[in-house]
Structure 1
Amino acid sequence: MISKRSPVRRTAAGAAAGAAALVLAACGGNGDSSAGHDGHTTASPSASASASQGRHNAADVAFAKGMIPHHRQAVEMADLAPTRADSAQVKKLAEDIRKAQDPEIKTMSGWLTSWGEEVPADGAMDHSMHGTSGRMSAEEMDKLKNSSGKAFDTAFMEMMIKHHEGAVAMAKTEQADGAYEPAKTMAAAIVTSQTSEITQMNKLLGKN
């Protein structure tokens, strides 16, 4: 009798242990109640904390803080075109850039404020991101400001292609690492629109 009962007891004990393990796994996966709001149970403690604060994370903050001065410089470059560009296409492109990026600057500034983060001051990060984000140096900006006509058109497009490539890279990082859906949506729009503008500028430069 004992030999017949013991497998049953072992089976029951194993089932109980398995159930306990499932309960522990469920508790451990959530971390806190906010992390399971979308059905995922793999959120880290830091992600759980960000969820309770509007579901943003450090990547979202870095995206906004990096993209605001990046956009400001693009708008500054675009503002030169009406009085310096020769090509109507370049003038139209510059206006499109200004119309797209001005509102995005305001939106990202609003995010940072709502998150309790500092909005970058005008002129901030002028020397900190060269070579990694496509931002122009002071010397490059001076060259653009001092050119006109076809020389301006060429310089503007060559610089803006580099500038856009940096923005696209930053936006792709946000898409991969960010948690705040409006920021990820904006990042996707930046990738789409600026990749299209890069193609357009390369064609105008005769590179495609």
Structure 2
Amino acid sequence: MRRGLWAALLGLAVLALTGCAMGESAPAAEAPLANQADIHFSQQMIPHHQQSIQVAELAAQRATSEFVKSTAEEIRMQETAEVGTMSGWLRSWKAEVPSTSGHSGHSGHSMEGMLTEDQIAALSAASGPEFDRLWLTTMAQHLGNGVRMATAVLASGQHTETRALAQNIVTEQNAQIAAINGQLAG
């Protein structure tokens, strides 16, 4: 009798452990994987953010307006963190990660949504209040391009975290554009 009881208890223990192990893997299977739209978004948004960082660093060197300096620093910090996040996703998906060494590079300037080399050169050559005004108009355009890119992945992406980042980009960058437009109007 004892032997049957021990066998039953052992069977229950094995069943319980097997159930626990199966339960641990279920959430990972339920998480939506990235589709091509999610991958493309990160691969395009990384160089776009790198260019934002480049333009923000110009403001740190050339701006006279405290609004421009503080907005540039906010953009630089936020987008640097997002580049790290998207790079991590791409590595986890075993997808190509765009180079983040240096700035956006000349090849990225031809990508849709990027500022042109002439726009970057004009910013680099400007100074004082002229720089501030040019920076505001250029950054508003660049942020608007980022909003369009994020809106596109919201329509076709399936990776939950990518969609959350894209929604945050839409919200944050629209707010930054509104603040920039307010400065330009003032």
TM-score, normalised to structure 1's length? 0.70
Deviations 1:140-175 (A, max 9, x none): 101101111111111111111110111000001111
Tell me, which stretches of 5 or more residues in structure 2 are unaligned? 1-25
Alignment: residue pair count: 156
For residues 14-163 of structure 1, the aligned pairs below 5 Å read 55-122=33-100, 123=105, 125-129=107-111, 132-133=112-113, 135-163=114-142
CA RMSD of aligned residues (A): 2.0
CA–CA separation in structure 2 for the residues paired with 1:174 and 1:188: 9
SS state at 1:79 partner:
helix
**SS at structure 2 position matched to 1:121:** coil
Match for residue 187 of structure 1 among 154, 166, 173? 166
Larger relative contact order (Cα-Cα within 8 Å, sequence gap ≥ 6): 2
Residue equivalent to 1:204? 183
Richer in helix (by share): 2
Please give the alpha-carbon distance, in whole angstroms, between the structure 1 residues aligned to 2:90 and 2:157. Answer: 14
Deviation of 1:128 after TM superposition, in Å, equals 3.0
Deviation at 1:54, TM superposition (A): 5.6
State the distance in 2 between where 1:125 and 1:65 align. 14
CA radius of gyration, larger in: 1
Q: Secondary structure at the match of 2:108?
A: coil
Q: Secondary structure at the match of 1:205?
A: helix
Q: CA deviation at 1:121?
A: 2.0
Q: TM-score when scaled to structure 2?
A: 0.78
Identical aligned pairs, as a percentage? Answer: 38
Q: Is the 8 A contact 1:69 1:125 kept in 2?
A: no
